[in-house]
Amino acid sequence: MTQIIKAGEKNLIEVFSDSYLFNIPLYQRPYAWTVEQVDELLDDLLNALEHDPQAPYFLGSIVLIKDEHHPASAVVDGQQRLTTLTMVLCALRDLTIRDKDRTNLDAFVKQEGNELKGTKDQFRLRLRDRDRTFFEEHIQTRGNIDRLKEGWAGQSDIQKRITDNFTRIAETLKPLTDSLRVDLAQFIVRKCFLVVVTATDRDSAYRIFSVMNDRGLDLSPTDILKADTIGNLEESEQLSYGNIWETIEERLSRDNFRDLFTHIRMIRLKTKMRQTLQADFLQHILTESTGGDFIDHALVPYAKVYETVLDCSYESTHYAEEVNKLLSYLRRLDNSDWIPPAMAFLHKYSDNYEKVVKFTRDLERLAYALFVSRANVNERIKRYALVLNEVEQGDDLLLPNSPLQLTSKEKHDVRQRLDGEVYTWVAVARRVIMLRLDSLVAEAEAGARYDHRVVTVEHVLPQNPMEDSKWVKLFPDEDERYAWTHRLANLVLLSRRKNASASNWDFEQKKRAYFEHGGVSVFALTTQVLGESEWTPAVLERRQKNLVDLLAKEWRLV
């Protein structure tokens, strides 16, 4: 069959006509527009109507799979706009006073059957099976706008979003005069245009979809993968697998769901991404199994362990608290490259709690070693790929030559970095290391752990003390003073923004007015400083050795 692709600019009189019967395939992502996006659309429409009601207004593009001789149109892209525009037309219809206007507007929502044409009564837009009946009964059917205050029980999250948006549309349009509402309706159907792109086959439609995605529209690679994964299944399986897919996406959030696919790609291919995510899946991963097999044996189990990693929620009869604590430390890092090995191991050995705790200890050690040494993304991916290989092959990851373990040189280099000028690292790196160190001090002193929204790293001995200050008397040797300024021993954590005016205060004043909060410090590291009666090179030397030794013992750097 010849593949035909057409594109044309059409106003809504043509779009919501008998030429199209829009259907949202069940493998599509659910309706996702927020109230803020609805507000923006309504504001734009009303402003355009007020400014120049005769000027055409462009609403964007939609992509359809459609036979040119039949109205049935599967929506590949444009569901959000078509659904929201339908809600606007429904609200205008129900709020309009004259029956004639209501009937005219209803014609854009519902096709009236005609025996001579061989058509039947049906709504012009049909949502996915999960939301179709709800949308038809509560939005598309006339007269429901008066029932908004009653609420509709038993809604899913998507249906609640639809209800919230329809409510906002009604609240915005109701204060307008009836004349203005009719003018708005005329403007929408006559002067608002969509570029309608139709393709007679699915591959062509999704090629167009991919190009539009690459040009910055709000589309996700997982939407394309969903079509290829579920769209090729038997129709009897599409609904159940579509429900599984969407449940996972809703549970994880859209961004985390995309990241899940990135991590699965790394687990399977063990290489840095060289092309698009969807290309790697289509060429290397989905070719190995059917869509159903991929969902059953990859997406579902990996989503489960990914949630465990994200939420630090490993469950077992032993070591669960330690594993989750280590996961929380890993989550502080400025990269997520360690996640695929964690997912792969938990997927394979989740029930073996002794293996899990030993692996997580060593993964946290390796990840922080790479973090401290500031290994670049290529170095990290190469190292974690080696770990993934051993996980897959079932090798002993505790052997000294395992890529999960640190070499003698790596141990030495990490310790040297920790003993150096930590404050000169990038801000996120020094803060993460200080928090990790604080957790060790808190555990050693049986203290509590804290999680604060604002965490800053501050010097005790200031970076640029005044020449007549006590600091210069305590550290008369300028080279020695500078050598200590940025090292671990001289740094503390605060749970508030820095106070520039406090930086040069003397030691006692800083302790009383700056390092304490409500009479105490919330960080164990800072509490240690409060316990010191003076701040001298000897104190710093003792403190530096203790702190570096604490990290070295935790990460076995000796």
Element (H, E) at 9: strand 5-11
Range with top average pLDDT, 42-56, 236-250, 257-271, 282-296: 257-271
DSSP 266-306: HHHH-S---S-HHHHIIIIIGGGS-HHHHIIIIIHHHHHHH
For the chain, give the percent of residues with pLDDT over 70. 90
Neighbours of 378 (CB within 10 A): 9
Q: Whole-angstrom Cα distance, residue 36 to residue 13?
A: 26
* 384-395 residue pLDDT tens: 999 999 999 999
Check whether 21 has a pLDDT greater than 90.
yes
| Average pLDDT of the segment spanning 47-72 | 89
In this prediction, residue 29 has a pLDDT band, given cuts at 50, 70 and 90, of: confident
User: Quick one: pLDDT at residue 189?
Assistant: 96
pLDDT at residue 419, as a whole number: 96
pLDDT greater at residue 153 or residue 76: 76
What integer is the mean pLDDT of 312-318?
Answer: 94
Is 77 buried (19+), middle (13-18) or exposed (0-12) by CB count in 10 A?
buried
Give the CA angle between residues 421, 425, 426 to the nearest 5°: 160
pLDDT of residue 441: 92
440: its two tokens:
């060790």
Could you tell me which residue, 540 or 115, shows the higher pLDDT?
540
pLDDT band at residue 231 using 50, 70 and 90 as cut-offs? confident
β-strand partners of 73: 22, 66
272 confidence band (pLDDT: 50, 70, 90): confident
Classified as helix, coil or strand, 196 is: strand
Q: Give the pLDDT confidence score for residue 205 in this predicted structure.
A: 67
Q: Who contacts 104 (Cβ-Cβ below 8 Å, separation ≥6)?
A: none
Mean pLDDT, residues 84-98: 96
The CA–CA distances, whole Å, from 257 to 250, 287, 338, 403 equal: 8, 21, 17, 29
* Predicted confidence band of residue 531 (pLDDT cuts 50, 70, 90): confident
d(CA 288, CA 268): 11
Alpha-carbon distance of 15 to 122, in angstroms, equals 15
Residue 453 has pLDDT above 80, yes or no: no
CA distance 200 to 66: 5
Please compute the mean of the pLDDT values over residues 130-135 and round it to a whole number: 90
pLDDT of residue 308: 97
Neighbours of 38 (CB within 10 A): 21
Sheet holding 125-126, edge to edge: 5-11, 192-199, 57-66, 72-77, 21-23, 125-126
Cβ atoms of 6 and 63 within 8 Å: the answer is no
Averaged pLDDT for residues 65-78:
88
CB 204 within 8 A of CB 261: no
Query: What pLDDT, on a 0 to 100 scale, did the predictor assign at position 149?
Result: 60
Phi-psi region of 394 (alpha: psi -120 to 50; beta: other; left: phi over 0): left
Mean per-residue pLDDT for 256-283?
A: 91
The segment with the largest mean pLDDT, out of 47-56, 225-234, 510-519, is: 47-56
Average pLDDT, the chain: 88
Q: What is the SS3 string spanning 433-498? A: HHHHHHHHHHHHCCCCCCCCCCCEEEECCCCCCCCCCHHHHHCCCHHHHHHHHCCHHHEEEECCCC
pLDDT band at 436, cuts 50/70/90?
A: very high
Q: Which residues fall within 8 angstroms of residue 15, CB to CB, at 6 or more apart? A: 194, 196
Token match 């809600």: residue?
Answer: 87
pLDDT at 482: 92
Reference 347, options 299, 395, 404, 281; nearest CA is 299
Q: Among the listed ranges 342-351, 406-415, 461-470, which one has the minimum average pLDDT value?
A: 461-470
Q: Can you read off the two tokens belonging to residue 214? A: 């690459």
Task: Please enumerate in sequence order all residues whose Cβ is within 8 A of that of 65, keeping only pairs 6 or more positions apart, or say none.
Answer: 73, 74, 76, 198, 199, 200, 201, 202, 205
Is 506 within 8 Å of 494 (Cβ atoms)? no
Rounded Cα distance between 250 and 245, Å, is 9
Provide the 8-state DSSP code for 501: G
Quick one: what percent of the chain has pLDDT higher than 90?
Answer: 57
* Residue 523, token pair as written in the block: 């960080």
Which tens digits make up the pLDDT trace of 333-370?
999 999 999 999 999 999 999 999 999 999 999 999 99
Find the range with the poorest average confidence among 403-407, 449-453, 461-465: 449-453
Task: Tell me which residue of 280, 216, 190, 238 sits closest to 24, measured CA to CA.
Answer: 238
What is the number of other CB atoms lying within 10 angstroms of the CB of residue 96?
Answer: 20
Q: What is the pTM of this model?
A: 0.70
Specify the pLDDT at position 322.
96
Q: What is the pLDDT of residue 61?
A: 87
Q: Which is nearest to 507 in space by CA: 473, 538, 471, 475?
A: 471
